Amino acid sequence: MKSLFFYGTLRHVPLLDCVLGRGESVGDFEAAELPGYAARASLDGLYPVLIEAADAVTEGVVVRGITDDELARLNYYEGGFDYDLKSVRLSSGDEARVYVPGQGVSAAETLWDFDVWRAKWADMTVWAAREVMAGYGHLSPDEIAARFPRIRARAWSKVLAQSGRHGRDVLDGRVEIVSRQQGYVNFFAMEDVVLRHETFDGGMSEPVDRGVFVSSDAALVLPYDPVRDRVLLVEQIRMGPVGRDDPVRWQLEPVAGLVDPGETPADAARREGLEEANLHFAVLEPVGECYASPGATTDFFHMFVGLCDLPDGVAGIGGEVSEGENIRSQVMEFEALLAMADDRYIANAPLGMLTYWLHRHRDRLRSGS
């Protein structure tokens, strides 16, 4: 049995419980202080970096009774972030171990604030830890570290899912997850899920074995110039048509991109407008939110119409080269887009929804009301 001092994100009991795998309260822990060290913020503020500082004192908790198996789980979780264990002496005089960063971990000059982190990032971090710890025993810490940006993005989508507007007048039934395993993980993930669910007669179903494609939330915005009555669309190659062997592999779409951790969907829509088409939106009109295909994928879209100027010559080539994007934009009259939708020339479902929403609200937007 060992004692460990936690000064950072693992002070958050739900996170520590997830990593330890106890499935219950953490157990024997109490507030403690570590003299001679300062906990500075990482460059992104998502975790602290422990730095030796003679006059500093770092607050945290000490947890006693850590078993060898639990220590192995902690080492796995921390190993992907280049952290190692070190023996220290607390202000109480008790000896404990603490995770300290390796040479490659950078820190800001400001001190890390646990309460600020907990308010913004704790829920996302717990969701991410669940996916990280699901790899314990068959994925290396280095593999987890390489995948962590996408793990974090998927976790942020779970945070956003807790505040959705949809769900009126549907069954709020019981769901029992029998098993949940990742069959494939890369930029996206695939999960094999066995579940039982409440039926409409109040009973429970037999186990149902399903697969689900796991992505992260996306923001989509149709740029519209209400003065010139024009829209802007972007065009790029898409893997869906490639995988389907569709001869039409370049698709016309609204501006779109994945929501980064910490962003609101509106933040992401504004960022993508700049990245894909060099556009600044004066106003974002919320259109709706929806699953792309709820029977098979977690893809979830937050849709907007973005009011902006679309003068002659605004279209061009854009996209983030570092992300492999090669995007061409084109401007057209709204009536031409509406005719495309009516003639079934639009293969992108969100673009169709945005087109008909704009058709319904176009007069209001053009009048400025």
Would you say 299 and 215 are in contact if contact means Cβ atoms under 8 Å apart? yes
Catalytic residue among 143, 176, 323, 333: 323
- Reply yes or no on whether 323 is catalytic: yes
The answer to whether residues 92 and 32 touch, using CB atoms and an 8 Å cutoff, is: yes
Answer yes or no: are the C-beta atoms of 151 and 133 closer than 8 Å: no
Count of CB atoms within 10 A of residue 18's CB? Answer: 22
Secondary structure of the chain in HEC code, one letter for each residue: CEEEEECCHHHCHHHHHHHHCCCCCCCCEEEEEEEEEEEEECCCCCCEEEEEEEEEEEEEEEEEEECHHHHHHHHHHHHCCCEEEEEEECCCCCEEEEEEECCCCCCCCCECCHHHHHHHHHHHHHHHHHHHHHCCCCCCHHHHHHHHHHHHHHHHHHHHHCCCCCCCCCCCCCEEEEEEEEEEECCCEEEEEEEEEECCCCCECCCEEEEEEECCCEEEEEEEECCCCEEEEEEEECHHHHHHCCCCCEEEECEEEECCCCCCHHHHHHHHHHHHHCCCCCEEEEEEEEECCCCCECCEEEEEEEECCCCCCCCCEECCHHHCCCEEEEEEEHHHHHHHHHCCCCCCHHHHHHHHHHHHHHHHHHHCC
- State the amino acid at position 272 in one-letter form: E
What are the φ and ψ backbone dihedral angles of 264, each rounded to 5 degrees? -85, 160
Looking at the annotation, which residues are catalytic? 323
